[in-house]
Chain A
């Protein structure tokens, strides 16, 4: 019955490696997001997809590449990992924001990425 799921929950890897984080939602939402939360708990949008189409791409290094194979999935691939990439990455989904009855974003449990 999990609404938004992410795998893996923890990821420890060496600098320079390539890794992926997977996200799936079973809520029937059209919009999915990736957020990065740093050690100071600042939560920042990275990407947003609406119905498999990229609609937000914040100032994120192009080592980060999202992929949405269908509207229930949004994966995040990271190339050439750096120490500064260590953070918690949250996937989220919602109905398109701005709709008067729905504003709630549902977050996955997060993936704690540690780059050594």
Chain B
């Protein structure tokens, strides 16, 4: 089966840097996405890694290592509005055309 593991909760202070890890066990892995979801809201896309290495988008960066079946989301200069749940999601290269989501990491940013 397909599975993605993330920490359930992370707490950090404003202005800090936080890393949210994701390890996956999938067959036909193609790439890793990250989504943000605020309470009561819809998931919104943050980033996608198809290749190994770091992708940077403003304060957010995402990293993938295929050999380690591991990725992470790095959030810098944390702001209160970053308090949300963050999901990693694997894109599987098979006949399926959907994402398999991890269980989500709830990030609490404190003043």
Contact = CB atoms under 8 A, between A and B. Distances in A.
B25 to A, nearest CB: 17
A29 to B, nearest CB: 11
B85 interface: yes
Given A48-B97, A55-B96, A103-B33, A109 B42 contact: yes
Given A55-B96, A98-B91, A98-B93, A104 B104 contact: no
Contacts of B37: 41
Contacts of B85: 41
Contacts of B17: none
Interface residues of B, number: 26
A4 B48 CA distance: 21
Contacts of B63: none
Given A104-B45, A105-B45, A42 B104 contact: yes
Given A43-B87, A55-B95, A100-B50, A107 B44 contact: yes
Contacts of A110: 41-42
A110 B91 CA distance: 22
A31 B96 CA distance: 11
Interface string B96-111: 1111110110100000
B63 to A, nearest CB: 16
Please give me the 6 A-B residue pairs with the lowest Cβ-Cβ distance, nearest first.
A107-B42, A104-B45, A103-B48, A43-B101, A45-B98, A48-B98
26 contacts: A31-B97, A33-B98, A40-B103, A41-B85, A41-B103, A41-B104, A42-B104, A43-B101, A55-B96, A56-B96, A56-B98, A90-B43, A97-B91, A97-B98, A98-B30, A98-B91, A98-B97, A100-B50, A103-B91, A104-B33, A105-B35, A105-B45, A105-B99, A106-B45, A107-B44, A108-B42
